[in-house]
Structure 1
């Protein structure tokens, strides 16, 4: 029986881009020919709203299924204020680089690191014209973090409950760049989960 990859998208701070990353990473998985499942554990139910709109090419559930799902990869969209480090080995930790939000990320990161988790950091929505945010972004990039710059393509997609991979977004400004960035993150996730499955 094939192993299902399990990926937690987690940061105790709200508004860091967890749901945005969850739905778009799942969509990128479909593009690769994988069958993803998204478990929405966010009380706001953002990912469920997208699913109920009927535009997603994958399933979203608000509870962990009792029986083994037909999926290659499961993304867990964790709720804000959840300080317990997720059980899954691979953690995707998005953060906005504002100083107060960075402080929360560091605290959570240290907790996850102490438990031996494989952490993939994603800097989201950084404002290049703000010196402190630019400095934080470049520091984390130097540590191996992925960076998704502030971009209207995500808000445009969100207004229609779409992912950036939806064909309706093909003509959106810089959508190709955003798709490439998300796909690179997915590639890193798959590499790490393959390592875990071999251990």
Structure 2
């Protein structure tokens, strides 16, 4: 019973405080401004030369998930293309990498290539110093036969253009060559690879 009286008393006091309003005549008697003692202002601290961004520590659950995550695939080792000379039309092949997949515009690492229905990629990094776009063709060749014939365009005035040719027609084991040619047929670079 005492608990009930206490609860009622608390509720009534809260209602009384919340519902009390000041009489408008009393409000008009209060001064609009109050005098405060004069205190000399402290000098403002100097602003830092560069504001450092504040970052919060991630919650522990995020840290645990990060530790359990699988390591990302390493990009494939890149080897310079067999031809790295700049041709008169401004095109140059910087690297060619043969891979089974592309991840974030980079070739994924592969230990070996086996005959498969999966696509095969010739990842190519090129430069085009000319004032106009230039076309290239990527082919996959073996024993005098070529497949793929992927036509691509390299924009003008581009020091680093990454692209790739893809084919599913490499279905035989053996030694292959990926060849990059200009639109007029001049060889820009090539990369040998073996399919097991």
TM class by shorter-chain length? under 0.3
Larger Rg: 2
Report which of the two has the higher share of strand: 2
Q: TM-score scaled to structure 1, two decimals?
A: 0.21
Task: Name which structure has the greater RCO, CA cutoff 8 Å, separation 6+.
Answer: 1
Report which of the two has the higher share of helix: 1
